[in-house]
Amino acid sequence: MLLVVDDDEDLREMFGRLFSSARIPHVSASSLSEVEALGAVLPELDVALVDINLGAGQPSGVDVARWLKDHGYTPRIIFITGHAPEHPLVSAAGDTGHVLEKPVPPAELLRIVRGGT
């Protein structure tokens, strides 16, 4: 199962349509607190697509990845961002998972989510 974490509702909807059309089971959340609330679904995760910046004053996508790891969940982490590679969160994300720069072509995103590099 795929977890999509992004604070942009339009992007979550677009990702949802893309993954549904590709028959990839998925759930979505807009924040760390919503990820925490997913509870029973979390052990089923194989991969997480996480936006690095989840909004001002909110825990970041890096925080989401750390929370998953700290709670024993081990999905493959794919970060997505519009920030420059020099941004501190992008650097931290690179230490935790694969980082994609927005925009990502849908075919490439599907390939990577399915395990391609």
Structural domain range at position 68: 2-113
Distance CA 92, CA 100 (A): 13
- Return the ∠ at Cα 57 (arms to 54 and 60), rounded to 5°: 35
Residue 86, CA distances (Å) to 3, 81, 89, 92 in order: 26, 12, 8, 10
pLDDT tens for each residue of 17-52: 999 999 999 999 999 999 999 988 999 999 999 999
CATH number, domain containing residue 103: 3.40.50.2300
Q: Which pTM value belongs to this model? A: 0.91
What's the total number of domains in the chain?
1
Q: Each residue of 52-96: pLDDT tens digit?
A: 999 999 999 999 999 999 999 999 999 998 777 776 777 777 776
